[in-house]
Amino acid sequence: MHDGYIFTLGICGTAAASSPAPALLGAMLVALPPVKRAAYLGDVLRLNGSRDLPHPTRDKLLDEVLADLHDAELLLIVSPIFFHPVTDAVSVPARMQHLLERARTLPAAALRDKWAVLISLANPDHAHLVQQLDPAQHPLHTFCAAVGIHVVASHHVATDTTDRDTAQVLQALLADKARTAYSLIRNHYPDALPPPDAFH
């Protein structure tokens, strides 16, 4: 809770403008009332123009996300997933992986009984692998299972979802998933702010 409000935390595994992920997370957040925050885990642009990642234990953005995880009731996690070309093992971007690893070290009660909507983006060439993917092999699902977060909805998206009509339909679908998850949480916190009729 954040001062009596249900707190939604959005986490995006990429900040790349070429990816539909940031817009998908934005569509879900816009559909929900405050309080809400978003973290976009992109590369860091150095002064010399190169791109790099902070050291996992000295990453100030991850520090802030981990602090917010304590207060949040609803997590909206949108991330690319990658398949190893030989083993088909599934991974997420490095900075997202660093966040998951650090979050696993939090006290046991810090994340238990929170709710999450998980959105995975994969290369369309891997559509057959996504359809066969066992949640026990998915980094986001295994993280939630390990720390006691309830996954109330999940969805796989092809990264070539760029045409306007398809993107609008997809954003509307994911916004509905976010609203459904939020309504579920309201049932557990009926007196939480804002009142149900205060946000349209």
Torsion of CA 23, 28, 33, 35, to 10 degrees: -70
Statement: residue 46 has pLDDT above 60:
no
Q: Which residue has the higher pLDDT, 20 or 200?
A: 20
Statement: residue 9 has pLDDT above 80:
yes
> Looking at residue 152, what is its pLDDT?
96
Query: How open is the CA angle 53-55-58, to the nearest 5 degrees?
Result: 120
Q: How confident is the model at residue 47 (pLDDT cuts 50, 70, 90)?
A: very low
Architecture label for domain 8-46+59-188: 3-Layer(aba) Sandwich (3.40)
Q: Residue 187: what residue type?
A: N
Q: Which residue has the higher pLDDT, 86 or 65?
A: 65
Q: Which residue has the higher pLDDT, 164 or 45?
A: 164
Q: Residue 110: what residue type?
A: A
CA separation, residue 154 to residues 64, 75, 106, 160, 174 (Å): 25, 12, 24, 19, 9
Strands annotated E in 110-199: 115-122, 150-158
Statement: residue 64 has pLDDT above 90:
yes
Domain locations in the chain as residue ranges: 8-46+59-188
Statement: residue 50 has pLDDT above 70:
no
> Looking at residue 24, what is its pLDDT?
95
Average pLDDT of the residues of the chain: 88
> Looking at residue 25, what is its pLDDT?
97
- Which three-class secondary structure string do you get for 68-97? HHHHCCEEEEEEECEECCCCCCEECCHHHH
Q: pLDDT of 75-132, one tens digit each?
A: 999 999 999 888 878 999 999 999 999 999 999 899 998 999 999 999 888 877 887 8
